[in-house]
C-alpha cells in the first residue's frame, strides 16, 4: 500500500494519460462540429445562389430541425445564416479542416460577428490558435482592439534586443490594456504592483501565455547591498528571464540605467547556464516615441519600453486611427 501523499506522484502518469485522452476527444468532437457547420453552410449557400431555395426555405429548415431535434442548439435561422457566412468567408475545405477546426464554434461566432475584414478574421483566428484562448478571452482581445493596436504599434526596442532576439518584436505589444486592475484615480507604483499580482491570470493573458511568474520584489544582492526587481517572469518562448520595471509616469531616459544594472545582476547571478540573456521591460503610463528611440539607440542591454492603459480604448477610436494610418501611408485598407 502507498500513502495518499505518495499516490499523487505514483499515479501522475496515468492521470496525464487520461487528461490527454479527454483533451483529444474534445478536439475531435469540435473538429467534427466545425466541419459539419461548414458543410451545412456550403449546402445552404449553393441552394440560395442557384435560386433553388428562397430566404423563406431557410426559415422552414430551422423550424424543421427544431421540430425533429428539439435538444440541438444553434440551428435557428440566425445560426444557419452564420454557417452560410462561415462557408462563404472560408470556402476552402482543406483550410477549414487543417486550421479552423482548432477553434471552438463559439469563438468563430465571435470573430464573425465582431470583425469586418478578412485580415481581422485571420489575425484573431491565428491568435486564438496560438494562445489557446477561450471564447471569453478571445472576446476581450477583440473588444480591446488588439488587431488595430498591432498595426498602429510603434514598438521601439534596443539594438541589442533585436540582435539577441530577432523575433522579439513579435512577442511584445506597444500598448497593454490593464483595465482589469481597477486602480483608483491616484495610485503609487506599489499599488500598481500589488494589483498586477492580485490579477496575475489576466495580466499574463494580456502579455501572452509564454510568460511564467517568478516573483515580485525579487531580491538581488550586489556587493553588500540588496536591490529589488518589481516583477520577474520567465518567457518560455525566448527561454529567458524578463524583468519588469513599473512606472506610473512618462518614460524618462534615466530609467534605463537602473534597468541595465538589474539585467547585469540577473545574468551574472540568477540566470542558469542553459538560459538566454535576460530581457528588461519598462512598463510606463505613457511615453514620447522620440525620447524612447533616442534612449534605446545606444543602449547595450536587451530592453524595450512599452506603455499601459487602465481603460479600454474604444474600438471606434482605434478604427478611425487605423483608417488615418492607411491614408497617411498610401495603403489600401483590407477588404471586407
Is 162 within a domain? yes
Kindly state whether residues 87 and 161 are assigned to the same domain.
Answer: no
Kindly state whether residues 83 and 212 are assigned to the same domain.
Answer: no
Q: Residue 202 above 90 pLDDT? A: yes
Is 141 within a domain? no
Kindly state whether residues 227 and 294 are assigned to the same domain.
Answer: yes
Can you give the residue range of the structural domain that contains 38?
4-102
Q: Residue 1 above 60 pLDDT? A: no
CA dist 44 and 57 (Å) reads 10
Kindly state whether residues 207 and 96 are assigned to the same domain.
Answer: no
Is 121 within a domain? no
Kindly state whether residues 199 and 272 are assigned to the same domain.
Answer: yes
Is 147 within a domain? no
Q: How confident is the model over 113-163, as pLDDT tens digits?
A: 999 998 999 999 999 998 889 999 999 999 989 999 888 887 778 899 999
Q: What is the CATH number of the domain that holds 253?
A: 3.40.1350.10
Kindly state whether residues 306 and 185 are assigned to the same domain.
Answer: yes
**Number of separate domains in the chain:** 2
Is 207 within a domain? yes
Q: Mean per-residue pLDDT for 69-73? A: 84
Kindly state the DSSP code that residue 286 receives in the 8-state scheme.
Answer: B
Q: Residue 286 above 80 pLDDT? A: yes
Kindly state whether residues 198 and 98 are assigned to the same domain.
Answer: no
| Distance set, CA 54 to CA 38, 43, 49, 51 (Å) | 20, 13, 9, 6
Kindly state whether residues 195 and 46 are assigned to the same domain.
Answer: no
Q: Is residue 102 classed exposed, middle or buried when 0-12, 13-18 and 19+ CB atoms within 10 A define those classes?
A: middle
Amino acid at each position: 500500500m502507498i500513502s495518499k501523499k505518495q499516490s499523487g506522484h505514483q499515479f501522475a502518469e496515468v492521470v496525464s494519460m487520461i487528461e490527454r485522452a479527454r483533451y483529444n476527444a474534445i478536439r475531435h468532437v469540435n473538429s467534427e462540429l466545425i466541419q459539419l457547420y461548414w458543410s451545412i453552410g456550403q449546402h445552404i449557400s449553393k441552394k440560395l445562389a442557384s435560386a433553388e431555395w428562397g430566404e423563406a426555405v431557410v426559415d422552414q429548415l430551422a423550424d424543421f430541425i427544431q421540430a425533429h431535434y428539439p435538444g440541438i442548439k444553434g440551428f435557428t435561422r440566425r445560426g444557419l445564416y452564420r454557417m452560410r457566412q462561415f462557408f462563404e468567408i472560408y470556402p476552402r475545405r482543406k483550410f477549414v479542416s487543417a486550421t479552423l477546426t482548432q477553434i471552438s464554434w463559439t469563438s468563430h461566432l465571435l470573430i464573425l460577428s465582431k470583425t469586418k475584414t478578412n485580415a481581422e478574421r485571420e489575425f484573431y483566428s491565428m491568435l486564438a490558435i496560438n494562445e489557446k484562448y477561450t471564447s471569453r478571452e478571445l472576446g476581450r482581445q477583440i473588444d480591446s482592439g488588439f488587431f488595430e493596436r498591432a498595426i498602429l504599434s510603434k514598438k521601439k526596442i534596443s539594438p541589442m534586443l533585436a540582435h539577441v532576439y530577432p523575433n522579439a518584436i513579435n512577442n511584445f505589444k506597444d500598448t497593454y490594456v490593464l483595465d482589469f486592475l481597477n486602480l483608483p484615480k491616484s495610485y503609487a507604483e506599489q499599488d500598481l504592483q500589488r494589483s498586477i499580482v492580485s490579477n496575475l491570470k489576466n495580466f499574463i493573458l494580456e502579455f501572452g501565455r509564454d510568460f511564467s511568474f517568478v516573483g515580485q520584489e525579487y531580491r538581488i544582492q550586489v556587493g553588500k547591498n540588496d536591490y529589488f526587481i518589481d516583477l520577474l517572469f520567465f518567457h518560455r518562448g525566448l527561454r529567458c528571464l524578463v524583468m519588469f520595471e513599473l512606472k506610473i509616469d512618462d518614460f524618462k531616459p534615466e530609467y534605463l540605467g537602473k534597468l541595465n544594472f538589474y539585467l547585469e545582476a540577473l545574468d551574472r547571478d540568477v540566470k542558469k547556464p542553459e538560459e538566454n540573456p535576460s530581457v528588461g521591460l519598462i512598463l510606463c503610463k505613457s511615453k514620447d516615441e522620440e525620447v524612447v528611440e533616442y534612449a534605446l539607440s545606444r543602449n547595450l542591454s536587451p530592453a524595450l519600453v512599452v506603455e499601459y492603459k487602465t481603460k479600454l480604448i474604444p474600438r471606434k477610436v482605434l478604427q478611425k486611427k487605423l483608417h488615418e494610418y492607411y491614408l497617411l501611408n498610401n495603403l489600401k485598407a483590407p477588404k471586407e
